[in-house]
Amino acid sequence: MFVSKKSCIFAPDFKTTMTRLSVNINKVATLRNARGGNLPDVEQFAKDCERFGAQGITVHPRPDERHIRRPDVYALRNLITTEFNIEGNPQPAFVDLVCEVRPTQVTLVPDAEDQLTSNHGWDTKQHLAKLTALIQRFRREGIRVSVFVNADPEMVEYAKRAGADRVELYTGPFAELYDRDAAAAIEMIRPAAEKAHEIGIGLNAGHDLNLRNLQALITEFPWIDEVSIGHALIADALYLGIEETIRRYRACCIPAVD
């Protein structure tokens, strides 16, 4: 088992990359909204992230529009040339927005309206009927569907039963443990990651992934299709610049070779 606490700095040939990097730009919108106006320019930032190597753009429009706003989602639809991932709680307004915009992927997250950040996944067994109906609607629109779940193999299995194309593993607990006990953090993820691989459902991961823990996760579970990273990546960009930051995260998306 590969476990490393070193930051990923140098990038080998990106042609070998298996896991895609989607940059969550919510925090850029938060900064813009703090002063009004259009600085920083969320649309230009998304275009630049793609230019610098991001393989997707993620947004999470919340009902209070404290960061990404509905007009941002419509504008980004016409700009993004890689993959567009819209995540959020599938309330009626969100469902209508996603079906109108028709992004590459929708990620269903069970957030409360006033929730600061996503901190748990769906109970896919309890909400099987609800999720099945939602997934059918999105798939009729040609949208790939990912369901945000805790790293629990049963939740992965029931997401598959609901018809989801992918699950996104909530990696907050993994990241919290990783700096204290990297090996234990990897084992925390293993049952769910291996269940996804076993039953043939796509696997995404997200929440608190960063330059210290990302490559260890990818190396141990190289079948992860995509990681969605926002807060840590934008924080790193304050010091490194966005181009260098994306380069480093892309490097971490390539499994390490012993």
Give me the active site residues, please: 60, 87, 207
| Cβ atoms within 10 Å, residue 159 | 31
Tell me how far apart the alpha carbons of residues 199 and 160 are, in angstroms, rounded to a whole number: 8
Tokens of 71: 């007009």
Determine if the peptide bond prior to 71 is cis (ω within 30°). no
Tell me how far apart the alpha carbons of residues 73 and 69 are, in angstroms, rounded to a whole number: 7
DSSP state of 127: T
Task: Specify whether the CB–CB gap between 204 and 226 falls below 8 A.
Answer: yes
Tell me how far apart the alpha carbons of residues 246 and 241 are, in angstroms, rounded to a whole number: 9
Tell me how far apart the alpha carbons of residues 42 and 199 are, in angstroms, rounded to a whole number: 38
Tell me how far apart the alpha carbons of residues 7 and 19 are, in angstroms, rounded to a whole number: 17
